Structure 1
């Protein structure tokens, strides 16, 4: 009997949704447009950094060994295209007006002063060991530290500025090390080939493997689960609006006086909107698998992971439905539920790591993020897609999402009973 009542409640929700075809289309189309747009923007940004070169003004006042080495390193990089037909004043004006991202100005006598400083310091060190040195070199005055001027567009991203400055520092540091090594060679009379002296320490990224193939994360693997989760939680808006409509149209009164328990009414909504959540996720996955390759984007790989992803989607959908039920129960008008629902979803997405990775947030916000159901769902998706976890590895997140659903529904039922108790 209860199953029949649940079925009738489910049918009622389907009929209500059929009356708002435009809303249903928005529920499905809006997330698809969002995921395509965001992924294209992010992927094109990565490609710009890797493929298309950024125009950079390069001014060489030194015109000697060190400046030529720096210029060679910049030209050999896959990031920069050097423009040399500027002076420092015109370069500064061009960068500060936003015409170019940055300018690099190599000072005069950089090579000469660097050699002088290195020779003087090497002489001092060698002399401390009691070894005879070239007195002419030892008497050379030590020059002041030379400054390479870097001009950045005021609108340039701080991360990009730090990356460029670190790259330039690394190039200069390597050049200085080679010259210092060469100076010691000259003083001590060694004949080792400088080119054979490579770094004693290097970096190697160790990535997860599937068989013999390395798994390299890409923008699609990050964006599909993130924006699918955002779409799932956005059903809070139509769900809460439908609950408010039932109040205004008298449907909720008929539900209360009917022999069907109120929790059956909630379960009917849960089943209906859970199906919508799963369809939303499957559409997102389909876009990632079949459409993205035609848009010159990486294909979304769900090989052997689809079952686990559906499980996460179900629990994330339950959390979203529970929140929508609570909001619809508390709100008295659509003007309350719609804007508050949309705003709250955006806030949950922001603190949950959809917009900005949690590790980039202030420490206080990182603690707040742990209480966002979107963060639980996102971590579960990432554990499966990027970290190759199984159900056991995401059990904590699944439990938290389900408890969130139970808490929201329980509060809604008690509030409804208290509101209409006689």
Structure 2
């Protein structure tokens, strides 16, 4: 077993593809998507405004929009409203706020309309602008009511009490002290790329089989369990190194909060055991290397979607979330986020660890049961 294990370590170090798939590619994903989402979180939404009134009241409204956090006002008076509406129809402009002539006069008389043009295909990006316009409309309404109540003899305290909302929303945030984009990206891609080790394991077993190495081992005292253990330990160690590097990169370069070090370490160990155990079992049951790679891609990419590795699983339809519960990726991701975001310890993730171990043991059991049939296919 020792000789088999040392041989595999040497071959894995020589194989450049292993380094690429296990370290370079996941690091590229983390850096690229981390940079994209970090910048997305710091950018503001642009409100395109065309002021046709040019009065103190219309300018005050525009300034009020510009003071809102996360929004930037861009005045579009250089072009006609018709040409800008045409741009929205063409898809080159997402929205436009038009303050018509007579805004100040209409405001004094009791009511005036502000036109909001939006591209229906970009409703999700224009919804925040529509929401703040509605909020401003409510503020103007409250000002009007306050003036009316004051004219009827109410003092400021009475006016404030009358205008107070009957329901007050008290927002209380539980856990989630360390939530940011990287708390989704780093653990998500770490879990996803762990399962690419299965491709490397498939290739190694099929090379051993086709070269006649496995057939020659039948004449040695080395048992099946010893050979499989020797073939399994190097990928297991590789995944441990892979996860450690990716998490440390997230910590050092993006300030990722890792949480309880013992809990994180155990998740990594159990995840490595799970991925390599399933890889060992898969190598014993597939008929060809291409078939194995196809199944691995299905497990890796499909699991990434249903387990919420790319985006929070809460955004997925309920039936997809239910499928995710049957994947090891889901339990690994939830374990990482429980420790990193919610600050939990071993008592909260023991189920996650147990399920990852069970997935890995299932793969190892399949490998032991199917090893003899696999040997019979080996070249002599």
Fold shared per TM-score above 0.5: yes
In structure 2, C-alpha distance between the alignment counterparts of 1:261 and 1:69, rounded to whole Å: 83
Return the match for 1:388 from 316, 333, 343.
343
Deviations 1:200-223 (A, max 9, x none): 5365553649xxxxx342222322
Which of 131, 138, 152 in structure 2 is aligned with 1:173? 138
Q: Comparing both chains, which one has the higher relative contact order based on Cα–Cα distances under 8 Å and sequence gaps of 6 or more?
A: 2
How far apart are residue 237 of structure 1 and its match? 1.5
CA contact (8 A) 2:278 2:363 kept: yes
Deviations 1:64-92 (A, max 9, x none): 68755542321112322322313321211
Tell whether the 8 Å contact from 1:98 to 1:153 is kept in structure 2 after alignment. no
Aligned to 1:43: 38
Does structure 2 conserve the Cα–Cα contact (< 8 Å) formed by 1:102 and 1:153? no
Structure 2 residue corresponding to 1:270, chosen from 228, 232, 254 = 232
Does 1:80 find its partner at 2:75? Answer: no
Report the counterpart of residue 123 of structure 1 in structure 2: none
- State whether structure 2 residue 363 is matched by structure 1 residue 408: yes
In the alignment, which residue of structure 1 is the partner of 2:98? 105
SS at match of 2:156: coil
Q: Which residue of 1 aligns with 2:334?
A: 379
Q: Which residue of 2 aligns with 1:301?
A: 257
Matched position secondary structure for 1:301: coil
How many Å separate the matches in 1 of 2:363 and 2:124? 40
**Alignment partner of 2:125 out of 147, 160, 176:** 160
Task: Answer yes or no: is 1:150 the counterpart of 2:106.
Answer: no
What SS is found at the alignment partner of 1:148? strand
Moved more, 247-256 or 40-49: 247-256
Change (3 A) 1:64 1:103: same
User: Which is worse superposed, 97-106 or 339-348?
Assistant: 97-106
Q: Is the 8 A contact 2:30 2:189 kept in 1?
A: yes
> In the TM superposition, what is the alpha-carbon distance from 1:342 to its structure 2 partner?
2.6
SS at 1:105's partner residue? strand
Give the alignment partner of residue 289 of structure 1, picking from 231, 251, 258: 251
Which blocks of at least 5 consecutive residues in structure 2 are unaligned?
A: none
- Aligned-CA RMSD value: 3.1
Is there any run of 5+ residues in structure 1 with no aligned partner, and where? 119-144, 210-214, 293-297
TM-score (norm 1): 0.78
Counterpart position of 1:354: 309
Structure 1 residues 355 and 330: alpha-carbon distance in aligned structure 2, compared to 1, 3 A threshold: same
Give the counterpart of 2:290 among 305, 319, 335: 335
Whole-angstrom CA distance in 1 between matches of 2:277 and 2:7: 19
Counterpart for residue 217 of structure 1: 179
Q: Residue deviations 1:187-237, cap 9 Å, x none?
A: x2224279977865365553649xxxxx34222232221111122122121
Pick the aligned partner of 1:227 from 176, 189, 212.
189
How many equivalent pairs are there? 372
1:162–1:57: structure 2 CA closer, same or farther, 3 Å change rule? closer
Deviation at 1:388, TM superposition (A): 0.7
